[in-house]
Structures are given as C-alpha cells and as structure tokens.
C-alpha cells in the first residue's frame, strides 16, 4: 500500500470494521493506545518545527530499522505526512478513527498506518507518539499485545521520556503512567430502547470509566454506539486497567443481551417491524441524513445480531456505519458536496452496498 495514493481513502473497510470476534453482537471494536514522548524534546505544543521534523524522522528510521521482509510488529507500516494530504483525506482518516480531529488540524503531524488499518501511530499530536491498535469485537488483550510489540520495536531506536516514579511522561497529566487508554465501542440499542442507558452511564462513571459517543469526547451516541474507556492511567498496570474495563464491558454485554431478550419476548412484532423497516428504507431511500442513517444502521445491526434478518452480514453493516460519513462520501464523489448533495449520495451508497450484499 502506498499511502500517497488513493487506496486508503477509496477503500472503506478497515480490519476493525469486519465485526468478527468475541461478543461481536454487542462489541464493535476494541482499541488500545499508548502515549509516548521522546526524551529531551519538548512536548508538541512547545516544540519548534525542527523538533517536530526530528520526531518524524526518528520514527521513520525506527520503522526502517526492522527487517523489512520478515513479518514483525513493524511490517507493513507506512508513514504519511498530514501536510501531503488534502483536508478531505485527513477527515477520512478521522472518520476511520485512524487519527484524531486534533491531529488532522495540525500542520506538523504525520501518521503511520498499517496496511490493514488496524495499527496507526499519530506523530506530533498531543504527544510525540500515540501508538494505537484497533481490533474488531472484544479483543482488548490482543490489541494491547500488538500495541506493546510496536511500542517495543520503536523503543529499541527511540529514547522515551520515562520517570521511575511516574512512568511514561505525557503532555497531559491524565495520561501519565502507563500512557494507556483502552476503549471499547459498544452497540447498545437494547439498553437505549428500554431506557436504561442513563442508569448505566452512572455506573460506568462510578467504575472510573467514561462513556462517550462514537467519535469521542463531546460527540453524541448516534446509532446507539457508545465508547467506553478507562479514566485511570496511573497506579495500575496495563493489564489491571484492561481487566477493569473488561469486566465493566462484560457487565454491559450481559445487560444489553438481557434487554434484547426482553424486547424479543415482549414486543417481537414491533422489533421485527423496526428491523425490517430499516432494511426497507435503507434499500429504497433517495435522501438520507447522517442521523437517520445511523439510527437505521443501528436497527438493522440489532436485527442481524438477533437473527431477525439474514439479508446482510454484520461486517457489511459495520462498514456502512463508516461509509456514510461526510468526508468519505466526498472523497468517493471526487468533489466537495453540500449537505443536501451528501444526503443524496449517502442514500445511493447505502442502496448500492445493501443490494450488493443481498443474499
């Protein structure tokens, strides 16, 4: 893959959207990221352009240092400077969760992205390095393992800022220690329909975790998709933090499944109606707003998980969730689009993919 070409932008499916893996009826994806900084260079908001450039070439050399042809943690990793990308291309990387909005907005950033889009490294975002692994379904430990392997490979060439007492030093103190933030993206339509989402948000906060919409802080939970992540990064090992998030996730899965079961028992016709209408509208609508699309995708996804509809697979539904985002739609159209034009293109794209995915 050559990141300067269009592949990354025109191909919507990232590995993590495939939807395969444990508990994929509720858990869309698992993410682990490690914040790392290079010793002796100021944090990004304080460094100059030359220092920013040094970080990029340091990572670039570290990646080139590995045995190129052998499989290993740094195989198939490709570096791209954000300044080489147009604003729509950067926005697509944000939509795919490969980089953050903050990163996309900066002029001195670069991103390292693995061919399957499961691994990415943001360079010169809030920290010098943010190594991130995004896996389908519930695979937090697996994601941590890959993340750590990439981290170790880089550490052989880069001297990280680390303190005996504090651990890894980070630009924002809330990340200091392990530098780790782990999160799961959950589809919780059962809890929303049965009005339990608010109650569980309270529980999540009590357990030192935080719940957000699909695109992180300040975004709404469109399509009943929630991100739950750890808040504590210090005083616990990575494994302990993950284990806390794991058991919270397990509890949410149990509650979500139980809500779905009771919906099935108490209002099956209404549930089937909801699921099938979603299919009906998605395969016929000519104008589709992003908000409505997310709600329909949520209904369809729920139907697939419950076996109420078999015309489409879970992974296609997951990837449609990302295809309908504004930047991707515009990249696909090859031009900027007004919101009205996007609604028409969105409807077109959803129809195409669902009729192609029809059994």
Residue closer to its own copies (CB basis): 162 or 276: 276
Residue closer to its own copies (CB basis): 110 or 306: 306
Binding flag, residue 121, its own copies (CB under 8 A): no
User: According to CB under 8 A, which residues from 322 to 351 bind its own copies?
Assistant: 344, 347
The least distance separating its own copies from the CB of residue 200, rounded to whole angstroms, comes to 28
Residue closer to its own copies (CB basis): 58 or 288: 288
SS (H, E, C) the chain: CCCCCCHHHHCCCCHHHCCCCCCCCCEEEEEEEEEECECCCCCCCCCCHHHHHHHHHHHHHHHHHCCCCCCCCCCCEEEEEHHHCCHHHHHHHHHCCCCCHHHHHCCCCEEEEECCCCEEEEECCCCCEEEEEEEECCCHHHHHHHHHHHHHHHHCCCCECEECCCEECCCCHHHCECCEEEEEEEECHHHHHCCCHHHHHHHHHHCCEEEEECCECCCCCHHHEEEEEECCCCCCCHHHHHHHHHHHHHHHHHHHHHHHHHHHHHHHHHHHHHHHHHHHHHCCCCCCCHHHHHHHHHHHHHHHHCCCCCCCCHHHHHHHHHHCCHHHHHHHHCCCCCHHHHHHHHHHHHHHHHHHCCC
User: According to CB under 8 A, which residues from 274 to 293 bind its own copies?
Assistant: 276-277, 279-287
The least distance separating its own copies from the CB of residue 95, rounded to whole angstroms, comes to 24
Per-residue contact string for residues 250-279; x = within reach of its own copies by CB under 8 A: -------------------xx-xx--xx-x
Number of residues that bind its own copies (CB under 8 A): 17
Per-residue contact string for residues 46-85; x = within reach of its own copies by CB under 8 A: ----------------------------------------
The least distance separating its own copies from the CB of residue 282, rounded to whole angstroms, comes to 8
User: According to CB under 8 A, which residues from 174 to 233 bind its own copies?
Assistant: none
By CB under 8 A, name the binding residues for its own copies. Answer: 269-270, 272-273, 276-277, 279-287, 344, 347
């Amino acid at each position: 893959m050559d990141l300067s070409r269009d592949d990354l932008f025109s191909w919507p499916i990232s590995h993590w959207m495939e939807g395969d893996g444990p508990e994929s009826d509720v858990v869309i994806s698992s993410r682990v990221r490690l914040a790392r900084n290079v010793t002796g260079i100021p944090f990004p908001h304080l460094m100059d352009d030359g220092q920013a450039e040094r970080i990029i070439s340091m990572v670039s050399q570290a990646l080139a240092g590995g045995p190129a042809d052998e499989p290993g943690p740094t195989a198939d990793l490709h570096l791209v400077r954000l300044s080489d990308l147009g604003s729509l291309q950067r926005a697509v990387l944000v939509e795919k969760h490969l980089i953050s909005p903050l990163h996309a907005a900066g002029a001195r950033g670069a991103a390292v992205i693995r061919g399957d889009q499961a691994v990415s490294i943001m360079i010169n975002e809030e920290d010098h390095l943010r190594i991130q692994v995004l896996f389908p379904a519930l695979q937090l430990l697996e994601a941590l393992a890959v993340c750590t392997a990439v981290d170790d490979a880089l550490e052989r060439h880069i001297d990280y800022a680390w303190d005996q007492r504090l651990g890894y030093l980070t630009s924002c103190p809330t990340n200091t220690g392990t530098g780790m933030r782990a999160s799961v993206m959950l589809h919780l339509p059962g809890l929303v329909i049965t009005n339990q989402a608010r109650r569980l948000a309270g529980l999540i906060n009590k357990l030192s975790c935080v719940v957000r919409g699909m695109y992180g802080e300040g975004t709404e939970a469109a399509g009943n998709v929630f991100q739950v992540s750890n808040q504590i990064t210090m005083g616990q090992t990575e494994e302990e933090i993950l284990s806390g998030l794991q058991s919270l996730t397990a509890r949410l899965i149990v509650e979500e499944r139980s809500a779905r079961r009771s919906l099935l028992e108490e209002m099956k016709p209404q549930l089937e109606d909801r699921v099938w209408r979603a299919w009906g509208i998605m395969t016929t609508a000519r104008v589709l707003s992003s908000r409505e699309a997310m709600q329909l995708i949520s209904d369809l996804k729920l139907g697939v998980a419950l076996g109420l509809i078999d015309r489409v697979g879970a992974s296609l539904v997951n990837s449609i969730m990302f295809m309908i985002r504004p930047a991707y739609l515009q990249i696909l159209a090859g031009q900027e689009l007004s919101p009205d034009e996007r609604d028409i293109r969105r409807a077109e794209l959803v129809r195409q993919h669902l009729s192609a995915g029809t059994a």
